[in-house]
Amino acid sequence: MFDYIRYYTGPLAQIAAAVGICAGGIYAWTGLSTLLLFALIDGVLPRDTKQRSIKNASLALIPVWLGAVFSVGLYMILAWQIGKGDMSFMAMLGGALSASWLGVIIGVPTTHELYHKQGTLMKFVGTYCQVIYLDATRNIAHMVGHHLDVGTPDDCDTAARGETLYSFAPYAVYESTKTAWRLESEALVKRGYGRWSIHHQLWKGLIALTVFALAMFALGGLPALAFGLGGAAAARLWVETFNYFQHYGQVRVAGKPIGRRHVWNHLHPISRVVAFEITNHADHHLDAYIPFYRLKPDTSAVVLPNVFVCFLTALIPPLWHRMIIMPALKEWDLNFASAEEQELAREQNRKAGWPDWFADRESNPTQAQMSGV
């Protein structure tokens, strides 16, 4: 039973954030404060490498539904409180950042889980709840683009070695949006429609965004609209920062099979439950329809810190590169990458100005024999 209950951690954090927004003052920052709280808890607790024992799919999906709907609801609660006229600027800012942060860490994995499902209602809710980061077409780039191109130069969700969080996030926002619209247009043409037909998901997404914006305006006027859209815009950038950690620096030859090794795992208790196993998604790239609770932790993979620590250290690029990702990629290159991938990795290292750890291996034949896939 605990395996079912543990996934309510996210919705409970959203409820706490809603209470904080209603209380106002410093409490409006409650949601954002969970970033440091989650990082500390995950940093203290041992890694969680157990597979979940969940049999009832309907019960397992309840917190997923709650997480997706509550992500939109937080913006509505914030707008309603702003409409009362007694929130200070700092309280409104804290509320917007709280809704933004929880919309990313909880809203993204829950909408992701729903739009990957085959049910019409689940796909609908998962797709259009993406208004919390102003892009109800992001699922197209993810499912049709990322899942096919992961680890290759064609995948805008895979950061190249040496790339910083600050350069990656804006570029990924632009590229993922362009990719989604292009893929949707190409699919429409194949079905006999125009590239920008009324059937294009972009127009439906704009309707959803309009409803989202009008609801906030109706509840709290222009201040609510400004802070709400500001929080959602910040979330759009924030989404890409988490993609940054999931595949950073990994390489794959286009057309070659995707393996469990083409994913970074963050197997920590809070990371796994709050993000509904999106930090444990190696199997998801092998079969996108596996439900989150059936994903098997890859205990043979390179060990990384929890995703919250990765985010905080990436804010200081030299710290992220030297202390976390370069050692991880060295291990990945020498012990997990195929021979073709090692050539790609070596070239990326050269372009990034990173050390050539392959040279050390080549000078040690014994190590060379032990490395590889």
Q: What is the pLDDT of residues 222-281, one digit of tens each?
A: 999 999 999 999 999 999 988 898 999 999 999 999 999 999 999 999 999 999 999 998
Residue 353 — pLDDT band, cuts 50, 70, 90?
very high
For 104, 123, 127, 155, 208, the CA distances from 134, given in Å and listed in that order, are 12, 17, 11, 21, 9
Which pLDDT belongs to residue 356? 92
Distance from C-alpha of 172 to C-alpha of 68, rounded to nearest angstrom: 23
pLDDT > 70: what percent of the chain? 97
> What is the predicted pLDDT for the residue at 119?
85
Q: For residues 266 and 15, what is the distance between their CA atoms, to the nearest angstrom?
A: 25
Cβ atoms of residues 251 and 263 within 8 Å: no
Residue type, 165: L
3-state secondary structure of 48: coil
Q: Does the pLDDT at position 130 exceed 80?
A: yes
Confidence at 362, pLDDT banded by 50, 70, 90: low
Give me the pLDDT at residue 368, please: 47
Q: What is the pLDDT of residue 365?
A: 56
Predicted pLDDT at 369 = 47
Residue 129 pLDDT grade (very low, low, confident, very high; cuts 50, 70, 90): very high
Residue type, 169: A
Q: For residue range 281-313, list pLDDT tens digits in order.
A: 888 888 888 999 999 999 999 999 999 999 999
- State the burial class of residue 48 (Cβ atoms within 10 Å of its Cβ: 0-12, 13-18, 19+): middle
Structure tokens at 250: 């990994």
364 pLDDT band (50/70/90 cuts)?
Answer: low
Does 220 have pLDDT greater than 90?
yes
pTM of the model: 0.92
pLDDT at 371 over 60: no
> What is the rounded average pLDDT of the residues 207-236?
97
Residue with tokens 């609209």: 225
What are 155-203's pLDDT values in tens digits? Answer: 999 999 999 999 999 999 999 999 999 999 999 999 999 999 999 999 9
Averaged pLDDT score across all residues of the chain: 93
Contacts of 297 (CB under 8 A, 6+ apart): 48, 49, 50, 51, 265, 267, 280
Residues 6+ apart with CB under 8 A from 101: 31, 32, 34, 35, 235, 238
Q: What is the pLDDT of residue 243?
A: 86
3-state secondary structure of 24: coil
pLDDT of 373 reads 36
Please write the tens of the pLDDT for every residue from 69-126.
Answer: 999 999 999 999 999 999 999 999 999 999 999 999 999 999 999 999 878 999 999 9
- Separation between Cα atoms, residue 147 and residue 91, nearest integer Å: 39
